[in-house]
């Protein structure tokens, strides 16, 4: 059995009227969004706006209080995180999670083998020779796509922050998930690393088979690589549209008032790497 991805189809990920409550606190209130294949879609907002809670609801880590979540036409609102992963939702987290005692190659293997094993205890212990060959091929492809093949035999605990971010990305790439939920994947990266990371994300969606939903605080990266942006504040949607419209929106600027997060420079206006320039 090969971990061939389930096609994201014409719909990809669809969220309608999503609500998340923690006791009396409403963290997410009426969020709608679409993340189709072949596109990088961004979800942005000030700190505490409900972005990670939205991701947790989509990936099944918290139960929505209202609304629906559909993947490729299938209602997954109440599905387990494991089932969502088996259907094709891959995710990285805001806090880096790598197995420091394993090599980079072994870490990426975990992302691919998860698609084989599923919920079967037996398949967690044994695999067929053909499956092992497929895993090795997928891992090699993911390492190459993310530009870290040269790190394959290094222990994950001994690589840089930027390399760890690429390792996390390689792990979900190896799983052949047709929709990727990436929670602040550029956190801790410098200017050069961020540009490289953005280029890799664009290459992933270029074939039209993969869709990305991105939560990110680096507005330069968001505006450079996203095709569509949803903006939330205090858990509620306040604006959505192409990056140029988001950049020009007074509503969005008001939400970010007093924060430098919305200061967006074009690629030619940004300070060169290593200059320490501040927008």
Q: What is the pLDDT of residues 8-58, one digit of tens each?
A: 455 799 999 999 999 889 999 999 999 999 999 999 999 889 999 999 999
Does residue 2 register a pLDDT over 90? no
Q: Which of 135, 158, 176 is the last residue of a domain?
A: 176
Asked if 54 and 31 touch (Cβ cutoff 8 Å), the reply is yes
Q: Are residues 41 and 167 in the same domain?
A: no
What is the DSSP annotation of 1-41? ---PPPP-TTT-EEEEEEEEEETTEEEEEEEEEEE-TT-EE
> What's the rounded Cα separation, in Å, for the pair 217 and 43?
10
Q: Which residues make Cβ contacts (< 8 Å) with residue 98, sequence separation at least 6?
A: 107, 156, 157, 164, 167, 168
pLDDT value, residue 13: 96
107 three-class SS = helix
Total domain count, the chain: 2
pLDDT per residue as tens digits for the range 65-109: 999 999 999 999 999 998 998 888 999 988 888 899 999 999 999
* Residue 82, pLDDT score: 87
Per-residue pLDDT at 124 exceeds 70: no
Assess whether 236 and 264 both reside in one domain: yes
> What does the pLDDT look like over 164-221, one tens digit per residue?
999 999 999 998 899 999 999 988 888 999 999 999 999 999 988 899 999 998 999 9
Write down the pTM of the prediction.
0.83
Domain that holds residue 60: 11-88+178-279
Measured distance CA(166)–CA(172) in Å, rounded: 10
Task: Give the residue, 240 or 121, on which the prediction is more confident.
Answer: 240
Q: Is residue 259 within 8 Å of residue 219, measured between CB atoms?
A: no
* 104 plus 149 within the same structural domain: yes
**Per the structure block, which two tokens stand in for 37?**
């294949």
Which of 161, 176, 191 represents a domain boundary (last residue)? Answer: 176
pLDDT of residue 253 exceeding 80: yes
Does the pLDDT at position 120 exceed 90?
no
Q: Per the structure block, which two tokens stand in for 266?
A: 């074009």
Q: Give a yes or no: residue 5 inside a domain.
A: no
274 pLDDT higher than 70? no
Strand partners, 21: 26
Helix locations, 175-242, DSSP H: 191-205, 219-225
User: Based on the domain organization, do 119 and 197 belong to the same domain?
Assistant: no
Q: Is residue 221 part of a domain?
A: yes
Q: Where do we find the tokens 């700190």? A: 47
- Given a cut of 80, whether residue 117 has pLDDT beyond it is no
């Amino acid at each position: 059995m090969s971990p061939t991805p389930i096609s994201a189809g014409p719909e990809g990920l669809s969220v309608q009227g999503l609500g998340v409550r923690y006791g009396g606190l409403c963290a997410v209130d009426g969020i709608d969004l679409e993340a189709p294949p072949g596109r990088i879609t961004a979800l942005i907002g000030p700190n505490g706006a409900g972005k990670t809670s939205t991701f947790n609801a989509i990936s099944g880590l918290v139960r929505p209080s209202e609304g629906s979540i559909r993947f490729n036409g299938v209602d997954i609102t109440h599905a387990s995180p494991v089932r969502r992963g088996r259907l094709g939702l891959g995710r990285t987290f805001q806090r880096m999670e790598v197995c420091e005692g394993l090599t980079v190659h072994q870490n990426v293997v975990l992302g691919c083998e998860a698609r084989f094993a599923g919920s079967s205890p037996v398949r967690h212990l044994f695999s067929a020779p053909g499956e092992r060959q497929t895993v090795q091929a997928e891992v090699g492809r993911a390492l190459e796509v993310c530009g870290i093949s040269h790190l394959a035999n290094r222990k994950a605990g001994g690589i840089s922050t930027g390399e760890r971010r690429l390792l996390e990305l390689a792990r979900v790439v190896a799983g052949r998930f047709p929709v990727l939920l990436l929670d602040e994947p550029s956190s801790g990266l410098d200017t050069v690393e961020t540009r490289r990371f953005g280029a890799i994300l664009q290459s992933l969606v270029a074939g039209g088979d993969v869709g990305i939903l991105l939560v990110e605080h680096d507005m330069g990266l968001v505006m450079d690589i996203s095709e569509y942006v949803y903006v939330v504040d205090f858990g509620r949607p306040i604006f959505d549209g192409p990056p140029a419209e988001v950049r020009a929106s007074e509503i969005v600027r008001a939400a970010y008032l007093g924060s430098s997060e919305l200061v967006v420079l074009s690629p030619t206006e940004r300070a060169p790497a290593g200059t320490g320039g501040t927008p």
